[in-house]
Structure formats: C-alpha cells, structure tokens
Copies of this chain bind each other. A is one copy, B any other.
Amino acid sequence: MSAVGAGDLTGSRGRIDKRQAILDAAFAVFAREGYAQAGVDAIAAEAGVAKATVYNHFGDKETVLRQTVGLLAEQALAQNLAAVGRLTDTGGDLRALLEDVGLSLAHCYCDERSWTLRRLLLSEFSRFPDLLGLVFGQVNDRVIEALADRLARLALAGRLHVTDPVAAAEQFAALLGSPLDKRTRLGTRDVSDEEIRAVVSAAAGTFLKAFAAP
C-alpha cells in the first residue's frame, strides 16, 4: 500500500507522511464521490488531517487528483509489466503458458484498486482529458508494446504465426479485457475466480486458434 521513497515512518503517528495519508484518502474519496462532489474537507477528514494541511502539500484540489492518479497509474503499470514478463517460452505447453499470463493480467485488471482507478479516470475524463491520455499512452500502450515483444519472440521461435505482433497483442488484450468489463460491470460486481478463469481460457483458446503455428 504505502511503500514509496525515502523516509517511510508510516502515516499514523509520524509528523511527516501526512502526504501519503492524504493521497490514500483522496483516492478513496474521489473514487467514492467523484471529483466534483468530493469535498477537500472530506478528504482531509478521511486522512485524519486538517484541511489546511492538504493545501500546504498540494496547493489545490486539482493537483491532489493529478498526484493521486499519477501514483496509482505508476503502480498499475508495474504490475501489468510484471504479468507480461511471465510470458517466456519454456518449451512447454503454449496454451498453459498463455493462460498463465492471461490469468495474471486478468488479476491485475480486476484488482479493486485497478478498477477504481479506471472508473475514476473515466468519470473525470471530460474535465481532465489529459489524464486519460496519460494513462492510455503511458500505461496501456506500454503494456501492449511489452506484450507484442514477447509475442514476437514466440513467433521467431516458430511457436506462433503472427505477422503484426502489436495487432496481435491488442487483440489478445481485447479478448481478455472486454469480457471482463462486461462480466464485472466495470468492476462493480464480484466475479468468481472460476468465471475469470473461463474468460481467460476462452481468450487464450480463440487467440491460439487464430495464431498458433500450423
């Protein structure tokens, strides 16, 4: 949860680290009420901090939002890249490998924080279009790119038959993400692990039928 840079005498008692407490609280409150409705008072209260302290650290409400989103996006990116990193040809069953990676990605995708972040981003998109741009460009595209790299290597090894690795990566992501969006109603409905597994399996199945080497 916390775990950032230098001095980490975590929030509760330390005189420092109000900052992190505020960011956590802001995320919770923004997610719960939306940017416009969320009062800075509410954020301060949730963080156990005076309103003036929030302004000391961030200057204004908008900056609080940007910092919050930026931090979360960074974390999400790291998680997704780690998941994609598992896609390494071990010479074993290709389908099992794809399902393993797909499952890791699906778990990143369905993580509570992840859903909340995405919902927040979508909600405030009209007010802060650049935020969505940042996340689309910096997170989504990077993950696709990393996935494409791995797929290209599998293709070189003769295990897949893809001509455009980026397109294939996009399609794999689509096959994974869209059904999850629908099943979870944008993360507002719990899905059993079996259901996730079924989605991943279907995605991997279709992907392999389309791209497995002959």
Query: Which positions in A face B, CB cutoff 8 Å?
Result: 31-34, 36-37, 119, 122-127, 129, 132-133, 136, 140, 167, 170-171, 173-175, 177-179, 182, 185-186, 188, 202-203, 206-207, 209-211
> Can you list 21 contacts pairing A with B, beta carbon distance less than 8 Å?
A31-B126, A32-B126, A119-B126, A122-B123, A123-B123, A123-B125, A123-B126, A125-B186, A129-B188, A132-B185, A132-B186, A136-B182, A167-B202, A170-B182, A171-B175, A171-B178, A171-B206, A174-B175, A174-B177, A206-B210, A210-B210
Known: A119-B126, A122-B122, A171-B178; 4 extra A-B contacts, CB below 8 A, are A32-B126, A171-B202, A206-B206, A209-B211
Q: Is the CB of B175 within 8 A of A133?
A: no
Q: Nearest 8 pairs between A and B by C-beta?
A: A174-B178, A36-B36, A209-B210, A122-B122, A210-B210, A206-B210, A174-B174, A34-B126
